[in-house]
Structure 1
Amino acid sequence: MTILTTKRYCVIVILQSILLIFDISVNSFVSFARRYPLDLLILYVVQDFCHIIALAILLLSFFSTYVFQVGLLELLYTRFRLTLILSVFYIILSIGLHVWHVTIVWHDPFAYYWSKGFHALSAIHKIVAVLYYYFYKRAALKIGDPRFHEGSIWMQKQLSFS
């Protein structure tokens, strides 16, 4: 495994930002595709695929740190636990919402489909999405901290606290 260089870090952050912007755009404008259920299905599949790619990129960023290569997984896990949990939870919520939405809209795209359960799931999805965007972007920027990519006094202090 290679250590994260500045150029590689910039490319990764830009790619992560593009994936987040795509996710925000799909969540914002998906109602325009309601008329065409097949387009909606394709859009949702691509969005879910992008969620999985975003999580994989974040994990690869973790794996390329010096902290990971030395074997201090617990240090990375404690720093980025909430981001990882939110990422997985957001993927599960998104897939659930997408399946429910496509199932409802598939036969009659213009029918009223906002049941209480669907409304609750949609609201929870939007709230978790905001938290996901914040914590994912924060983790993407924090993983570039030089302390994670070289041996340092900070890491020795973290080891002494463990």
Structure 2
Amino acid sequence: MQSGKYFGALFLLLLFLFIDIFLNCFIFTFRVENVVVLVLYIFQDICLVFALIVMSLMFVNTYIFQAGLVKILVKKFKLTIITNILYLCITIAFHIVDLNKRWKYPDYYYWDNFDLSILFTIQRLVAAFHYYFYKRTALRLADPLFYKDSQWIRNWLKGVKTGEHHQTSMVMTSHTLNKS
């Protein structure tokens, strides 16, 4: 990694990851009022959205994106994009169901509810995949190779099939890259 050029974005991405892990681990250990849980859930959801925004900004700043080779980024980070969006949706759904149960039955033990238990389990399983792909992507996006022309991009472009309409701009970009 270059001397701190991408350190700020990497730090933010890892900070959002840590906040999410911390809240997932400890939010149920605190016996707090429903309003406090609501605020913590909103904070967690905002951190997830900001993490997606920072990661998207890192995608936009790459040489590959600026050269118009978005397909390479999508192919390399498809699982990360899918798990991030899926995790955000499942987390929001879990927060909504949990808060509804808390407000309807404040003194009732509602964890024996089948729907909430299944949603909680699915959210935690997807969280494990989210953490893995998110951290891997954050570290990979900090690699300077994504921010300059390099041989692996040219090799990928050579493997692109010519003659397909949606890939003609990528082939033209390949010829432009070879001339420089």
> TM-score scaled by structure 1?
0.93
Mapped to 2, the partners of 1:119 and 1:52 lie a distance apart of 25
- The answer to whether the aligner puts 1:140 opposite 2:138 as a matched pair is yes
The partner residue of 1:45 within 27, 42, 47 is: 42
CA contact (8 A) 1:34 1:109 kept: no
| 2:84 and 2:130 in contact (8 A); partners too | yes
* 2:74 is the counterpart of 1:94: no
Task: Name the residue aligned to 1:131.
Answer: 129
The superposition leaves residues 103-158 of structure 1 with CA deviations (integer Å, 9 ceiling, x where unpaired) of 11124333111211111110010010011011001001111223211111111101
More displaced stretch, 43-52 vs 106-115: 106-115
Residues 48-88 of structure 1, C-alpha deviation per residue, up to 9 Å, x if partnerless?
Answer: 00000000000100100000000000000000000000000
CA RMSD of aligned residues (A): 1.5
Contact 1:65/1:149, CA 8 A, preserved across alignment: yes
The aligned counterpart of 2:59 is: 62
Q: C-alpha displacement at 1:43, in angstroms? A: 0.3
Distance 2:135 2:6 in 1: 13
CA distance in 2, matches of 1:100, 1:66: 42
- Report the equivalent of 2:106: 109
Structure 1 unpaired stretches of 5+: none
Q: Does 1:36 align with 2:33?
A: yes
For residue 6 of structure 1, report the CA deviation from its aligned partner.
Answer: 4.0
C-alpha distance in 2 between matches for 1:146 and 1:11: 14
Secondary structure of residue in 2 paired with 1:8:
coil
Within the alignment, does 1:19 sit opposite 2:51 as a pair? no
CA distance in 1, matches of 2:27, 2:4: 34
Q: Runs of 5+ in structure 2 lacking a partner?
A: 161-180
Q: Is the 8 A contact 2:6 2:142 kept in 1?
A: yes
Count residues in correspondence: 159
**In 1, Cα distance between the equivalents of 2:3 and 2:156?**
24
Larger Rg: 2
Structure 2: distance between partners of 1:84 and 1:47: 18
Q: Could you tell me which amino acid in structure 1 is paired with residue 147 of structure 2?
A: H
Separation of aligned partners in 2, 1:109 and 1:129: 27
TM-score, normalization: structure 2? Answer: 0.84
* Residue range with higher mean Cα deviation, 83-92 or 141-150: 141-150
Change (3 A) 1:106 1:148: same
User: Matched residue of 2:123: which SS?
Assistant: helix
